[in-house]
Structure 1
Amino acid sequence: MPDAEVDELLQLAKRVAVEAGQAVLAIYDKGDFESYQKDDDSPVTSADYLANDIINQRLREATPDIPILSEENQHASLAERQTWDRYWLIDPIDGTQEFIARSGDFAVNIALIEHNEPVIGVIFWPPGQSLYYASKGQGAYKESPGENRRIHVRKLQDPRQSTVMIAISRRQARSKVMNRLCAKRVYQTLPLGSCSLKACFIAEGKADVFMRLGITGEWDTGACQCIVSEAGGQILAADFEPLTYNQRNSLENPDFVVMGDQRVPWRDIIQYHKE
């Protein structure tokens, strides 16, 4: 895509993410929402559906030629999806459990995938009024009250010995992750909610690594991958193979790892074994 078109689509995604996020925040502040259980036993709320409606409507109005793949939409078959050169990849609320639990750790994710690669990533964290965004080759950025800056992963003073800050899920036993890490390193932990916020904290240097064990969808990593990559980090499957987009019948991700400073010997630190 020409740079001008990329920037236009990035600005659109930013506006839409903020609009949907502010609508979600209004519901969150009032505490007036309905919760449901999906077929896969994961939770969804009336706020997820509202955010999804806003995002779908705005993107279809502005870009009727670009298909939308959202967690909360009916999903097209692989045969149909393989005809898409580019598409929007949406998670209306990443961290629905955190929304329900009122931890504040939830976000709106919008990515643009082109030729099976995230080229635009936008993540809006409503309670923190923070907007993280990136486009391929143009760096990663954060906008929040009193702040508008380019962000980078943290550079460890000694990549082979410095203490590593691990972002860990509030909903997952600490030992489940720590048992898969090299015991020779020193670690600190940072409890957080949604996948996307952990990735953003790594992108801006507040944490160094995050290992996700369990079911996620491609919409959980699309925007994150663009932002983290442009900030100098990397997202890979936990066996260090690349994540894929729109190339399989299933839209589920494998277990994956978000890594900051690329000088760190992550393959030595992460001793992954699939349960």
Structure 2
Amino acid sequence: MLTIFEEAAHAAGRVILEVYARGCAVETKPDATPVTEADIRAEDTILALLSRDLPDIPVVAEEQVAAGRVPDVSGGRFLLIDPLDGTREFISRNGEFTVNIALVENGVPVAGVVHAPALGLTYLGDATGAYKLTQDDALRPLMRQPITVRPVATPPVALASRSHQDPETAACLQQLGVAECRNIGSSLKFGLLAEGLADVYPRFGRTMEWDTAAGDAVLRAAGGMTLEIDGTPLAYGKRQRPDMADFANPAFMAWGRRES
């Protein structure tokens, strides 16, 4: 499964970098989020490869959902795709954007790939463990290494969104008494937690399941966890709730290895 995800993510990454090199127009979707040619072409690339290799698994993809195309996921096994997580980072050209592909089974992200094409790195995770793959400028693999979270430090080192800051996150960071907070774009925050470079990532602003599933899968495979504020594991496939949009996440906190 990870091999299929990796191939699709890297193919999408090449498309994204092609658009990134020459620039493109930015449009705004009905939910006020930006979308570019790179988002659309990357998603088309991923969907074509997944339909070839995994034709029987429903796919929930960000731009497909925005267009009103939502598959039946009641069987409990489906794929979540964000073809370009961190579109604002793509637009601002800081390199902190990713391709996210994840498999969900019964509400749990069990396999995922987070690929950062501009940075030449990929995070992967499934039941066998979590890994970091580094690449050269031509996206040729250089090294694959196992990764694991670290025990949460006291005081912890935190990660926060670069483009989505809010008073709730600031208050949480103050309450945690963090030693340091790094602002990073996209699902790279999950990867940094998974390789033991930070301890906690609180998120109170809105996210969608395709934003988090792949990174969450990598983090869990590395020994970490992603919890709602009440301490329950963040679940996937959330639909038909009176107070939230389909596939929207509540506030959560992603952690390295907590001792209690």
Same fold (TM over 0.5): yes
Equivalent residue for 2:258?
262
Query: Counterpart of 1:140 in 2: which secondary structure?
Result: strand
2:169 equivalent to 1:177: yes
Distance 1:184 1:72 in 2: 36
Superposed CA deviations along residues 196-235 of structure 1, whole A, max 9, x for unmatched, are 1011111011111111121111111211121101111100
Question: Aligned letter for 1:193?
Answer: G
- 8 A Cα contact 1:232 1:262, kept in partner: no
Cα drift, residue 187 of structure 1: 1.9
- Asked if structure 2 preserves the Cα contact closer than 8 Å seen for 1:142 and 1:149, the reply is yes
2-structure distance, mates of 1:225, 1:147: 22
Cα 1:47–1:188 change in 2 (3 A) is same
Match of 2:243 in 1: none
Q: Assess if the C-alpha contact under 8 Å between 1:112 and 1:121 holds in 2.
A: yes
Residue 253 (structure 1) shift: 0.5
Q: Offset of 1:168 from its aligned partner?
A: 1.7
Whole-angstrom distance in 2 between the partners of 1:56 and 1:184: 41
Q: Deviations for 1:72-105, whole angstroms, at most 9, x for unmatched residues? A: 1035568x321x3422110001101111111111
CA distance in 2, matches of 1:184, 1:61: 46
1:17 and 2:13 correspond: no
| Cα gap change, 1:56 to 1:102, in 2 (>3 Å) | same
* 1:6 aligned partner: none
The answer to whether the 8 A contact 2:228-2:253 is kept is yes
Runs of 5+ consecutive residues of structure 2 not aligned to the other structure: 136-141, 241-245
Residues 237-252 of structure 1 mapped to structure 2, 5 A cutoff? 237-249=228-240, 250-252=246-248
- Return the TM-score normalized by structure 2: 0.88
**Partner residue of 2:40?**
49
> Which runs of 4 or more aligned residues in structure 1 lie more than 6 Å from their structure 2 counterparts after TM superposition?
none
Please report how far the alpha carbon of residue 180 of structure 1 lies from its aligned counterpart in structure 2 after TM superposition: 1.8
Amino acid of the structure 2 residue aligned with 1:15: E
Larger radius of gyration: 1
**2:119 aligned partner:** 128
Distance 2:80 2:47 in 1: 11
The TM-score with structure 1 as length reference comes to 0.84
Q: Does residue 140 in structure 1 map to residue 136 in structure 2?
A: no
Q: Is the 8 A contact 2:64 2:70 kept in 1?
A: no
Does structure 2 conserve the Cα–Cα contact (< 8 Å) formed by 1:168 and 1:174? no
Structure 1 gap segments, 5+ residues each: 1-8, 266-275
Cα deviation for residue 125 of structure 1 reads: 0.6
> How many Å separate the matches in 1 of 2:108 and 2:32?
29
Q: Match for 1:150 among 133, 146, 170?
A: 146
Q: Tell me the distance in 2 between the aligned counterparts of 1:186 and 1:251.
A: 30
- Shift of the 173–112 alpha-carbon distance from structure 1 to 2, 3 Å rule, reads closer
SS in 2 for 1:191: strand
Q: Is the 8 A contact 1:211 1:238 kept in 2?
A: no
Mapped pair 1:61 → 2:57: no
Q: Provide the secondary structure at the position in 1 that maps to 2:80.
A: strand
Distance in 1, matches of 2:161 and 2:133, equals 24
CA distance in structure 2 between the aligned counterparts of 1:127 and 1:148, rounded to whole angstroms: 18
1:224 is matched by which residue type in structure 2? G
- Residue equivalent to 1:114: 105
Q: Structure 1 residues 10, 169: closer, same or farther in 2, change over 3 A?
A: same
- RMSD over aligned Cα atoms: 1.9
Q: Percent identity?
A: 38
